[in-house]
Amino acid sequence: MSRFLRKHAWVSGLAALLVVLLIVTKLIQPSFGASGLESIARAALPFAFATAGMAVVVIVGGIDLSVASMMAVCAVTAAVLMERMAGIPALMIVLSLGLAMGLINGALIVLTRVPDIVVTLAMLFVWEGAALLILESPGGATADWLEHAIRGSFVFDGLPKALLVIALGIAIIWLPIRRTKLGLSIYATGSDERAAFRSGVAVGRTKIAAYAVCGLFCAMGGLSLAALTGIGEPVPGPYLMASVAAVVLGGVVLGGGKGGLLGPIIAVFILRIIRTILTLLAVDPNVTTIIEGTIMVAVVMLGTAASLRGARR
């Protein structure tokens, strides 16, 4: 048990923080309940998928600056397609599009040997441009069932469908990978690329796969944007910096090899709920920016300090 806690200290700490924040919210606004949870879960939807994608590439030792742009491409594609054809095939097309974009990112990184950050910085513009070419201005429409899939609660109040979508989406993709050799290779490559190569890992293919998974998550993020707004917007939202922040907050080490997806997802919820609290408190929005920045830095500072003390082995 203590071993478990030590190994998962960071994630457990985050989960505890989340619970505390939920209680604080309830104290500030006694009427906060199922609908509040539901709206937080819905708000977290695109962030969660962007963060999951980012986390996977950070674990493999890279970074993907093009997540927000890929989400925009997928959102507009979904909106354009669903206006014209049945929802399910459109959904499939969007998911494969995300996968394909991720594959392209990964392949370019491996083939050109240009560092990840440069390739994805360039692809940020390429995908952003692609989104504008697909849809010049906001428009299109999404299937109704897609909107309903993320609205309301599942079975009982207090279990938002959006939360379920996040859990399922990530579990279906990540858990199988995590269990196979690919997952192991992803961690190995991120931890020490040379040692991984010498252990027989196909380093290049592993990286490409990780970026493809990231693309797939971005497709889900784009779909959730389309589902939330009912249209497609070709301008990338603020998901890049937010996902990097959540990934680091969630205990995934930039540089690779460490961490999982649970921590970052909890971090996403923490960041969302902080915004809710600040709105409920009617804090001046300029001050809100200051507080958000401070909290982000403070949490990481505290965590770093705590883990430094813990690491005195």
Partner 1 sequence: MSAQNTDTPLTRFGRYLRDNPIIPLLVFLFLMIALLEVLRPGIVMPIRAGRDGLISSFWVGNLIKFAIPLAMLAACQVLTMLTAGIDLSVGVVATVSAFVCATLSAVWGVAPAVFVALAAALAVGVVNGIGVGLVRVHPLIMTLGTGLIATGCLQVYQRLVINAGTHIPEFLAWLGTGRTAGMPNGLIVFVPFALFILWLMRYTGFGRLLFALGSNEHAAKLSGVRAWQVYLALYVLSSLIAALAGLLYLGMIRQTSLSLANPLLLPSVAAAVIGGTSIFGGRGSYAGAIVGALILRVLDTMLTLLQMPEGARTALFGLIILAVTALYVRITGTR
Partner 2 sequence: MTNTALLDASGVAKSFGAVRALTDARLTVAEGEIVALMGANGAGKSTFVKIITGALKPDAGHVLIRGKPAPVGSPAEARRSGLVPVYQEPSLIPDLDVADNLRLTSTPSDPFRHWVSELGITDLALSDMICDLPLATLRILDLARALAAEPDVLLLDEMTAALPTDLVDRVLKTVRGKANDGMGVIYVSHRFTEISDLCDRATVLRDGQTVGDLDIEDGVEDRVVELMLGQKLDLGQRAMARTTFPQGQTPRLRVRTLAAEPKFSDVSFDLYPGEVLGVVALEGQGQDELFDVLAGFEKPSAGRVEVDGKPVSFTHPADAIAAGLTFVPGNRADALLSQRSVKENIALPFSARPANWGPLNRRHERARVGYAIEKLQIDTRAQGEVQRLSGGNQQKVTIGRWLATGVETLLLFDPTRGIDVRTKRQIYPLVRELAEQGAAILFYTSELEEVPLACDRAVVIFNGRVVDVIDGAEADEQTLMRAAYGLTAAEGAA
Partner 3 sequence: AGGHKSYTIGVSNTVQGNGWREQMICAMRAQALVEGDVNNIIVAHRNTDSAGQLEDINNLIEAGVDAIVLNPSNPDALNSALEQAMAQDIVVVAVDAGVTAEGAYILSNNQEEYAYLGAKWLFEQLGGKGDVVYMRGIAGVSADTDRDNGFKRALEEFPDIKVVHEVFTGWQQDQGKQQMFDFLATGIPFDGVWTSGIDNVIVDVFTESGAPLVPIVGADNAGFVQYLTEVDGLKGAAVTNPGSVGGAGIALAVDILNGEAPDSKTVLVDPVLWENTTDDGVATISAAQNPNLDPEWPVSVTVPGWTDYTMEQIIACEGPGEG
Which range of residues in 36-44, 126-134, 148-156, 204-212 is near partner 1 by CB under 8 A?
126-134
113 near ligand ATP (CB under 6 A): no
Among 3, 84, 113, 194, binds ligand ATP (CB under 6 A): 194
Token pair recorded at residue 15: 């989960």
Cβ–Cβ < 8 Å for 23, 276 = no
Provide, rounded to whole angstroms, the least separation between the CB of residue 204 and ligand ATP: 11
Among 201, 248, 271, 277, binds partner 1 (CB under 8 A): 248
Contacts of 32 (CB under 8 A, 6+ apart): 25, 26, 280
CB nearer to partner 2: pick between 53 and 257: 257
Provide, rounded to whole angstroms, the least separation between the CB of residue 57 and partner 2: 16
Which string of x and - marks every residue 229-268 that binds partner 3 (by CB under 8 A)?
A: xxx-xxxxxx------------------------------
Closest CA to 142 of 130, 151, 133, 153: 151
Provide, rounded to whole angstroms, the least separation between the CB of residue 200 and ligand ATP: 12
Radius of gyration of the chain (CA): 19
Provide, rounded to whole angstroms, the least separation between the CB of residue 194 and ligand ATP: 5
Partner from ligand ATP, partner 1, partner 2, none contacting 187, C-beta within 5 to 8 A by type: partner 2
Q: Could you give the angle at the alpha carbon of 167 between the alpha carbons of 208 and 51, nearest 5°?
A: 45
CB nearer to ligand ATP: pick between 194 and 313: 194
CB nearer to partner 2: pick between 4 and 156: 4
Provide, rounded to whole angstroms, the least separation between the CB of residue 206 and ligand ATP: 14
State which of positions 169-228 bind partner 3 (CB under 8 A).
Answer: 224-225, 228
d(Cα 247, Cα 253) in Å, to the nearest integer?
8
Q: What is the binding site for partner 2 (CB under 8 A)?
A: 181, 184-185, 187-188, 190-192, 194-202, 257-258, 313
Q: What is the binding site for partner 3 (CB under 8 A)?
A: 29, 31-32, 35-36, 39, 42-43, 45-46, 131-132, 135-139, 147, 151, 224-225, 228-231, 233-238, 272, 275-276, 279-280, 282, 284-286, 288-289
